[in-house]
């Protein structure tokens, strides 16, 4: 099955700095890569996703890049704000149709004012 590795496990930045979280996956057939944000005690929520036919996608201060050859994808957050503090999970599907997501172990992002 699919295996998703996520790094770092914790990331501390100053407000206004950029943050980068990286994930690798094992199954070359995976073709959908979402990122979820989970605030403390809350439910995970989708913040951005990318499909394998696209190399980069942006949405305001967040962006995701995908390198299918190397089987890794990354989340980039620019101009970080304290409200960006949360746990971020990457995920990948082992096959087409978004059937079952395999999640990474998460990255706790702390943004200090």
Partner 1 sequence: EAGVVQSPRYKIIEKKQPVAFWCNPISGHNTLYWYRQNLGQGPELLIRYENEEAVDDSQLPKDRFSAERLKGVDSTLKIQPAELGDSAVYLCASRDRGRDTGELFFGEGSRLTVL
Name which position in 24, 25, 30, 32 contacts partner 1 (CB under 8 A): 32
CA atoms of 113 and 109, how far apart (whole Å): 13
Q: Is the peptide bond before 31 cis (omega within 30 degrees of 0)?
A: no
Name which position in 64, 74, 77, 106 contacts partner 1 (CB under 8 A): 106
Q: How far is CA 22 from CA 17, 74, 89, 99, 106, in A?
A: 17, 4, 10, 23, 10
Task: Output DSSP code: residue 94.
Answer: S
Name which position in 21, 25, 89, 109 contacts partner 1 (CB under 8 A): 89
Total residues at interface with partner 1 (CB under 8 A): 23
Q: Does 44 bind partner 1 (CB under 8 A)?
A: yes
Q: In the bound complex, what is the minimum distance in angstroms from residue 70's beta carbon to partner 1?
A: 21
Of 2 and 78, which has the nearer Cβ to partner 1? 2
């Amino acid at each position: 099955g699919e295996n998703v590795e996520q790094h770092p496990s914790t990331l501390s930045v100053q407000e206004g700095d950029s943050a980068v979280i990286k994930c690798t996956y094992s199954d070359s057939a995976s073709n959908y890569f979402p990122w979820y944000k989970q605030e403390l005690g809350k439910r995970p929520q989708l913040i951005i996703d990318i499909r394998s036919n696209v190399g980069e996608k942006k949405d305001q201060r967040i962006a995701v890049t995908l390198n299918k050859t190397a089987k890794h994808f990354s989340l980039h957050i620019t101009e970080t704000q304290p409200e960006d503090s949360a746990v971020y999970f990457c995920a990948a599907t082992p096959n087409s149709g978004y059937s079952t997501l395999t999640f990474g172990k998460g990255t706790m992002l702390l943004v200090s004012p």
